Amino acid sequence: MKTYSIALIPGDGIGKDVTAAAWAVLQAAASKHNFNLEGTTFPWSCEHYKQTGAMMPEDGIETLRTFDAIYLGAVGWPAEVPDAVSLHGLLLPIRKAFIQYANIRPHRLLPGITGPLRAQGFDILCIRENTEGEYSGAGGRVHSGTSDEIAVETAIFTRKGVERIVRFGFDRARARRGKLASVTKSNAQKYTMVFWDEVTRDVAREYPDVEVSHYHIDAMAARMVMAPESLDVVVASNLFGDILTDLGAAIQGGLGFAASANINPDRTAPSMFEPVHGSAPDIAHLNIANPIAAIWSGAMMLEHLGEADASRDVMGAIEAITARGIGTAPGKDRTGVITDAVLAAMV
């Protein structure tokens, strides 16, 4: 029987609850489909930071490298540890070290969910560049605290980086409905974004079967609200993708339903799967976190591992329970009730 080794990082707050929920469902899927998921839990979190002074040990990245995939709940406890510390101490180093350059987030309404839009029949896959661009971290400040203070932050776009994310987008579009929307702001940003457009046009020649459209970020934001059903795969830079995927989460009914994967498409290192939401300190001890986003992220992990049937089974179970009105609104059902319903629907 095939065995996959999974590094589990539940993290902080509701990260722990939703990881436990997703893991129970993934285990059920594994036994139904005849494979093993061997989980190793790491306590890396803000609590760990308070105890040790680091979000993860120095050899954390090397430890994770040996796993087939990483599953993360959420990290962050802003009352005690600054967000910049928790983000830069764990999540970002993992994404960068393992070259998880494609951050993918599906945006569609599950059955039984009423989103904020009139449009119901949309199914968008947002692909965000995850390692460079506006979040490269290149910059600095001088004359701090004076009236002459200057802050600069440089967006770095490499041909390699743009080409690979755009190509990933084309591949996904080819496997879906054959439409790719590339998002830039090349009317205003005449170097990096014009470059992105050029690279997209170059790569497009290899995919004559995929229909490509080019949008500016502002127009895309409007389109995701006004005509989301016209979109299939959307590919964007780190910053633009970050913003669009929050919009995507909103139109699909909220953070309780927003799943994500940080993919290393070349499979030279493990990919990481996590719900989009954070640790939600405001509801952390109430057992009302919706685990659906986390379970959906787990289904994405199964698909990445090559267990497509098990993945489809998990998604089918999620859809079966939301269609019955379970877990469809924030705080409506407790975490355990939603998890048990998914488990029951899997049988």
Of the candidate spans 139-147, 153-161, 189-197, 271-279, the one that interacts with ligand NAD by CB under 6 A turns out to be 271-279
Question: What is the DSSP secondary-structure string of 41-89?
Answer: E---SHHHHHHHSSSS-TTHHHHHHTSSEEEEEE---TTTS-HHHHIII
Question: What is the DSSP secondary-structure string of 302-317?
Answer: HHHHT-HHHHHHHHHH
Question: What is the DSSP secondary-structure string of 267-326?
Answer: -SS-EEEEESS---GGGTTTT----HHHHHHHHHHHHHHT-HHHHHHHHHHHHHHHHTTT
Site for ligand NAD in 34-73 (CB under 6 A): none
> Does position 338 bind ligand NAD by CB under 6 A?
no
Q: What are 212's strand-pairing partners?
A: 180
> Does position 283 bind ligand NAD by CB under 6 A?
yes
> Does position 320 bind ligand NAD by CB under 6 A?
no
Q: What is the nearest approach in angstroms of ligand NAD to the Cβ of residue 19?
A: 11
Q: What is the nearest approach in angstroms of ligand NAD to the Cβ of residue 242?
A: 11
Q: What is the nearest approach in angstroms of ligand NAD to the Cβ of residue 81?
A: 8
Q: How far apart are CA 84 and CA 81, in angstroms?
A: 8
> Does position 274 bind ligand NAD by CB under 6 A?
yes
- Using the rule CB under 6 A, which residue among 45, 279, 328, 339 binds ligand NAD? 279
> Does position 282 bind ligand NAD by CB under 6 A?
yes
Active site residue 242: yes
Q: Could you tell me the two tokens for 93? A: 């180093």
Active site residue 185: yes
Q: What are 123's strand-pairing partners?
A: 108
Of the candidate spans 20-28, 32-40, 223-231, 275-283, the one that interacts with ligand NAD by CB under 6 A turns out to be 275-283
Q: Which residues bind ligand NAD (CB under 6 A)?
A: 14, 74-76, 78, 83, 91, 255-256, 274, 277-283, 289-290, 293, 330
Catalytic residues, by residue number, are 135, 185, 218, 242, 246
